[in-house]
Amino acid sequence: MPKDVPQQLSYADLESENANLKRQLDWFKKQMFGTKSERRLVQTSPDQLLLNGLLGEVLKPEPAETETITYQRGKAKKNRGSDCVTDSGLRFDDSVPVEVIEVAIPELHGPDAEQYEVIGTNSLYRLAQRPASLVVLRYDLTVVKHKASNDIVNTPAPAGVFDQSLADVSFLVGMLVDKFMYHLPLYRQHQRLQQAGITLSRTTLTNLTKRSIELLRPIAESQLRSILQSKILAMDETPVKAGRAGKGKMKTGWFWPVYGDQDEIVFTYASTRAKVHIEKVLTEQFSGTLVSDGYIAYARYTEAREDVVHAQCWVHSRRQFIEAEDAEPGLVAVALQYIRELYDNEAHIKKKQLTGDKKQTWRLDHSKPVVDAFFAWCEVQLTNNTLLPDNPLIKAIGYVRNRQTELRVFLEDPDVPLDTNHLERALRPIPMGRHNWKFCWTELGAEHVGIIQSLICTCKIQGVDPYDYLVDVLQRISLHPASDVASLTPRVWKEKFAHAPMRSDLHRQVNDGLE
């Protein structure tokens, strides 16, 4: 047969190809229009699936303690008048400023005012908003002359983050927080400044942002050194458009977030997704357990390191079965039930606050039988002649079988988490930001995004207000010894400086005005 004549496919081949194309189309539709949630409704039947008898008796949760509460409640009114915004409908804490507006009653100022007396006050609350909280600080510097020598003495200007800069630290931090925490690009901030009557070039905003983040670079690097001392470390990667590849085209770079066991995260940037960046970041400083998804680069890295154990994420394994749900709903439900049992056990561990040996013992007694049964079930499905090799379920089973050793690591070490969900939650600002600022003009700009997000995200994880932290640190950097830069990382700063952070001049002016 000539080489240029295509070989005719059999009916079975055409049917298989058509099924694959339908699955691809369904996947694209789900990505475009479907829900991204992986949450599943838990069935309440006591005989739920029973996993073909492989699990034995289903573990039943302990009955929760209950208490009976009695109270009386008035009937709700359909038409609520002026009381629709009160303390019961508008809730705010003491940090929210309240401006009091006294509303005069006409009877107290009329001809019969003497016949009335004030017996009380009714308060009505309404939420208000100013167009922008932008203030220009004017420093009046006193100039004096020495009477005897006629020497002129000028008052030195208060120190700022940058010498002779037009920006107060409060403006710098507000700009960083708006852009990187609330994803408001600089061009939108520039528009807001113009509407507030302030004229600044966008180049000035860009330069102030760059200079501020460069001051923070040593802190992010110190935080990475702290993370590399972790016993358990999680790592992932997410794409970003950074740098121009040509006219109208952008390069694809990668953020590689690294999450340590002291709840710190650093977003490292690389122009490649290759294993070489993992080696560059982790170097020889890290030795312990690396938790990741199924990307092959992590496996290649750990194979070359005898002092690093590779653990893999059960959530990523679960996603493989979810993608096969349309093809084999019944069998996939069994696989998902196995994995759900593992998470039920973890929920029990968390509820009972088990740690160390007690946690490991619970996992060995309750989770190991589930894992063993799960992989035994996978082997049984491979002998099912009705499942073709290109069936999504077979592919999902192949995924977990090839990673069986890595998926069992959590049974051996109680400190190893079942998944990398904590890391995926922390890296959400990157994909959220991509929907707003779309790309980074330069790769240096992508590095700057990684630096500031490392500090802001760690602040949120540690329960620190990013605004207060950045206002303090940007002023403290010039006074702080470089040898102790680790004290300025959010985790350590929380212990040393959070009780009395440095404030901006604007904050002091506002407080003085309230006193």
Predicted confidence at residue 327, as pLDDT, reads 86
In tens, the pLDDT along 120-158 reads 888 878 777 666 678 888 888 888 888 888 888 888 888
Helix (H) or strand (E) holding 180: helix 169-180
pTM of the entire structure? Answer: 0.81
pLDDT exceeds 70 at position 2: no
**Residues of the chain above pLDDT 90, percent:** 56
Answer yes or no: are the C-beta atoms of 303 and 297 closer than 8 Å. no
d(CA 255, CA 430): 9
pLDDT exceeds 80 at position 61: no
Predicted confidence at residue 129, as pLDDT, reads 66
Answer yes or no: are the C-beta atoms of 234 and 291 closer than 8 Å. yes
> How far apart, in Å, are the Cα atoms of 180 and each of 162, 194, 450?
21, 21, 10
Predicted confidence at residue 420, as pLDDT, reads 95
Which regions of 8-129 does DSSP assign to beta strands (E)? none
| Lookup: tokens for 107 | 């009877």
Residue 472, SS3 per DSSP: helix
**Average pLDDT for the chain:** 85
Residue 249, SS3 per DSSP: strand
For β-strands 232-235 and 249-259, DSSP reports them as antiparallel
Predicted confidence at residue 71, as pLDDT, reads 55
Handedness of CA 482, 488, 491, 496 (dihedral sign): positive
Predicted confidence at residue 230, as pLDDT, reads 95
pLDDT exceeds 90 at position 82: no
Mean pLDDT of 73-91: 52
Residue 254, SS3 per DSSP: strand
pLDDT exceeds 70 at position 172: yes
Strand partners, 289: 232, 309
In tens, the pLDDT along 290-322 reads 999 999 999 999 999 999 999 999 999 999 999
Angle at 487 between CA 173 and CA 499, to 5 degrees: 70
Strand partners, 440: 242
d(CA 320, CA 399): 8
Answer yes or no: are the C-beta atoms of 235 and 298 closer than 8 Å. yes
Judged on CB neighbours under 10 Å (0-12, 13-18, 19+), 444 is middle
Mean pLDDT of 476-483: 92
Mean pLDDT of 188-216: 93
Answer yes or no: are the C-beta atoms of 446 and 152 closer than 8 Å. no
In tens, the pLDDT along 379-415 reads 999 988 888 888 899 999 999 999 999 999 999 999 9
pLDDT exceeds 70 at position 104: yes
Judged on CB neighbours under 10 Å (0-12, 13-18, 19+), 136 is exposed
> How far apart, in Å, are the Cα atoms of 110 and each of 102, 118, 122, 244?
17, 14, 21, 74
For β-strands 288-292 and 238-246, DSSP reports them as unpaired
d(CA 358, CA 349): 9
pLDDT exceeds 90 at position 55: no
